[in-house]
Structure 1
């Protein structure tokens, strides 16, 4: 097991706040505002935005727009504000919300017919993707791990590994028999798409990232402490539109898939509970302060200290 030398929470906060607060947080808030405007437009003109999509696709799109507008965009704005003031927990959770927005807008831009919101969606995708990449690159993994090295990491590690394995098997069960039989997977045919962007994103990026982060967290590797909270937040947010979709389908006169609710609700609750446990306030560690480099901008405007960072 890899151990991490403890150092003060203030050093861990400075490790990201000194370099990360600022441009990436502001870019994400801009993305959230654009996304919210697009959500309102889409929900007010379903025919104009989703008129060429299948009914099943429209149900999912309505649920996604509603969750983005009511939960995701406000969460990004609030978390960015708290992170700018020095909250490391808010910053790590913010990464998950921005990852969720990036994921969603890959799907929007590549799955929906080009229409009035296409360039808005492209802008949201670019802003959120750069925010995510820049936000991750600015982190000091050792400092973050030092802050959370006494947190209960095993529940988070196992949850990430198990959920990644289960969804991988679920998607492969949909894909492999269909391709062997020379037909489209059901999740693709009902949306009238050439392939499922969810399958592509999950199997190539998200599920491997969740599995690797969970495995590394179980082994106490420092970088896993920076990615695991965001992945847990991402998983919880991913479940919300899935939970809303059956209600949208019933309202629109389609057959609702109520069977998805129990497992998805269970995963969302588990992710939120484990995330809360992983990031709960802990007594400050003791040790020798470590000097952390900061940008010129942040030297002029030092971040506020978060007492529970």
Structure 2
């Protein structure tokens, strides 16, 4: 695999800095002291009032604190495990690593662009940059001419593509349902609060929805790149849906209203994406030769040969 040393260094940097950032985020934000003010849009906003996220709204802070917990308890262990697995020469490990880095890229892009300015702003920018280049190099490390050898012919394409299309439609319905009424009625969209724009919706509508549709089409056509992109999106969905489920629980603990539909839908999706994740990895083949037969090379030797 190309760029192993660079990817390893960037992943270590991302892991160490995010460990510090997430730990401070959760430890400094206990026992919130809510304060209220009226935004420029005329909304009455409750601020969290404590710790790193003191200037963020109660809703946003509750979500970010839950995200920090998921990063500490799930994201970081998955990052270290997938890096170790990839370093042993595993194709499954490399795909898992790409998807996990995608979680960190999405997470710290939203932190850097959405949260009210705080003392960790430069660390958010550092994490955004490190995870972006780690993700880019990981994607560049795959041999796309031989990528089809890493997936067997029995992938349930309709199930995988169906989930990807459903994910795209779900995000479109959720976010357009918030944005379009505000445009029609000339009112602030739900969830804007005192922020300047809808950053999460920008990331989802601008990147996740098109990527899900593209990968779904490619999976139906049995294209190897579609399998790769689809698996990465499934890993991303696994981590983000876990975070969203934790966010909703923490929002309710903070007294924020959560839709019954969202409360029931996202945990069910979380379970289904785990099923898709296992299903997809089951059909990834390890260490095939150019002719498609199984390779008998030691994966550790394969790794070191290309260093």
TM-score band, normalised by the shorter chain? 0.7 to 0.9
Structure-1-length-normalised TM-score: 0.83
Secondary structure of the corresponding residue to residue 213 of structure 1:
helix
Higher relative contact order (CA 8 A, sep 6+): 1
Which residue is 2:182 aligned to?
A: 178
Q: 1:253 to 1:202 in 2, by over 3 A?
A: closer
**What number of residue pairs does the alignment pair up?**
278
Q: Note if contact 2:152-2:285 (Cα within 8 Å) is conserved in structure 1.
A: no
In the TM superposition, residue 249 of structure 1 has moved relative to its aligned partner by 2.8
Measured against aligned partners, the alpha-carbon deviations of 1:119-161 in whole angstroms (never above 9, x if no partner) come to 1111111100000111111212242222213242412122111
Q: Do the aligned partners of 2:99 and 2:235 also contact (CA within 8 Å) in 1? A: yes
What are the residue-to-residue correspondences of 1:191-206 with 2, within 5 Å? 192-206=194-208
Q: Secondary structure at the match of 2:137?
A: helix
Instruction: In structure 1, list runs of 5 or more residues that go unmatched.
Output: 1-16, 291-297, 305-309
TM-score where L is the length of structure 2:
0.83
**Which residue does 1:107 correspond to in 2?**
110
Equivalent positions of 1:1-309 (< 5 A) are 17=1, 19-46=2-29, 47-154=50-157, 155-189=159-193, 192-257=194-259, 259-280=261-282, 288=291, 301-302=304-305
Bigger fraction of residues in helix:
1
The whole-number CA distance in structure 2 between the counterparts of 1:300 and 1:173 is 48
Which of 258-267 and 269-278 deviates more? 258-267
Partners of 2:292 and 2:259 in 1: CA distance: 54
- Provide the aligned C-alpha RMSD in A: 2.4
Stretches (4+) displaced over 6 A:
282-287
Q: Is the 8 A contact 2:91 2:285 kept in 1?
A: no
